[in-house]
Structure 1
């Protein structure tokens, strides 16, 4: 299949590109600073989602793509761009008729022991220093919820998403944060990529999902 990964050089995006290529998929890797590729399955495209060019160019990039994965993370101080950039992708996907997997944040999830509490308000999992990017992911999720014309799925990673030793698998949940037997919630880019490509290959019915390392 043909998969477009937007934000292809970031921590999540690069892992998803690698996983998709390892399964033999054709990948269009979209990033601000695209570089050439010696892989026949990989096409690289330079595009800044925050630019006006994205509005015009992205529908054409997504045309003929079976699934798109949005995996962008704004730099500190640019968190306010997350919502508008997500809207740009969803609008383009609607025009192209492409479904989208949005790799976002854990803030929109429910606390594991308080279903009425969003994770962004649970300092055990999201400390004060993380609130700017957590707030951006909550804005992003709201943009998705308001975009009813595009087929999208929102993938929330665990509370801690960082490089480490992959488990080679994952557990999948929906709207509530998953934790291990020690109460920890962690997932690596490699394990998240497994879930992202699985979901792109065979999308489920849940609009909001989450994963944790196996």
Structure 2
């Protein structure tokens, strides 16, 4: 497959690129500066300058954008909508690295994780910004999108176990009562979604059993 990873220099982006390359896919990293990923091809370009022509020929475009600057949290929405606009009515699918805060706490789907009293206040604005972006994406029927939320504990340094559980809109816990996934195992799930081409127009989640 031909896969583009936008914001490939980030921690999630680098893991997704490495997993894809190891599977034999041809990967192009879209980065703003010197490439840090293991992609075979590199395009140095600001996300907001990426055009539909730049994304032609790809089977999948992975949006790994993240911004933790409190003054720029709106970019989670503006960047995602920009990429969606460039992929409007295109054959390429858009896979989005999402957040856990917008997952629901139970099957009633009334309360999101970010709204729980125990949710850290310092992360609440970021979680809200990512939730807002997901709400906008849900309205897009002109783009073949899939949004993948990690477990609540998204561990950049965690091991690659090679296994995961794919779930839906509700936060799930493993046998130890943990909502956990490593970046490496998340990258496996993301690449599986890329290869299987399922869950179009859906938000799914992933955790380690």
Given candidates 34, 44, 47, the residue that maps to 1:46 is 44
CA shift for structure 1 position 95? 5.3
- Give the gaps of 5 or more residues in structure 1: none
Do 2:107 and 2:170's aligned partners in 1 also have CA atoms closer than 8 Å?
no
Whole-angstrom distance in 2 between the partners of 1:75 and 1:99: 26
The residue that corresponds to 1:155 in the other structure is 148
1:122 lines up with 2:116 in the alignment: yes
Q: TM-score, normalised by structure 2?
A: 0.91
Do 1:8 and 1:30's aligned partners in 2 also have CA atoms closer than 8 Å?
yes
CA shift for structure 1 position 7? 1.1
SS at 1:101 equivalent? strand
Q: TM-score, normalised by structure 1?
A: 0.89
The residue that corresponds to 1:170 in the other structure is 164
Alpha-carbon distance change, 36 to 161 in structure 1, aligned in 2, over 3 angstroms: closer
- Give the gaps of 5 or more residues in structure 2: none
1:210 lines up with 2:209 in the alignment: no
Whole-angstrom distance in 2 between the partners of 1:205 and 1:82: 22
Kindly report structure 1 stretches of 4+ aligned residues shifted beyond 4 Å.
none
Whole-angstrom distance in 2 between the partners of 1:183 and 1:112: 15
Q: Deviations over 1:49-77 (max 9, x none)?
A: 2x4xx2xx431221000011101111322
Q: Which has the higher helix share?
A: 1
Whole-angstrom distance in 1 between the partners of 2:199 and 2:127: 25
The residue that corresponds to 2:67 in the other structure is 74
Root-mean-square deviation over aligned CA pairs: 1.9
CA shift for structure 1 position 113? 7.1
Map of 1:59-208 to 2, 5 A cutoff?
59-77=52-70, 78-94=72-88, 96-112=90-106, 115-124=109-118, 126-163=119-156, 164-205=158-199, 207-208=202-203
